[in-house]
Amino acid sequence: MSRGSGWGRRYLRAFVGGFFVAVPVTVTVLDRLAYVARVEGASMQPSLNPEGASECDVVLLNRWSVRNYRVQRGDIVSIMSPRNPQQKIIKRVIGLEGDFIRTLNYKKRHVRVPDGHLWIEGDHHGHSLDSNTFGPVSLALLHGRASHIIWPPGRWQRIRADLPPNRAPLASHDRRDGDDEEG
């Protein structure tokens, strides 16, 4: 009998030890790579939550892809709200640093997106608190890029970077051309 109880204790100790190592490692990996988020509200309709309040989309947010602040126009991103750091919001990237944007109801009709910032908007204009409300958003607030809709099952799909009609920048400054000078 003592032989069986010794084995049980070793098994339990190994399980508990493994659990206390595996959980923090898993949480750290998921925090660095990706996580899922429920999208609430109408600001991204019809791209996300096309059925309104009756069913919310759940998206996979890729944190790894934005680790060096590499996003492109049309990406749907999660950022920490400039108004409430406890809240994350999901919007579409309309302009990158250096782009000239025609705004929608912002205090200025045209804006040059400053270095280190993005211009973000919800797809459902008039139902979104976005850059047209609070201006360009710091890249430091970037949290992840929505890569897939994973719920509900009927909406499983990869999310592609698309700019809405008439929302392309008036002029852009593409740093990949090797021209890092502001002009």
Question: Catalytic residue positions?
Answer: 43, 91
d(CA 103, CA 120): 10
* Cβ neighbours around 94 below 10 Å, total: 25
- 157 and 148 Cβ atoms separated by less than 8 Å: yes
d(CA 130, CA 136): 9
Residue 3 structure tokens: 């032989």
- 135: nearest Cα among 88, 182, 74, 94: 94
The number of angstroms, rounded, from the C-alpha of 133 to the middle of its chain's C-alpha atoms is 19
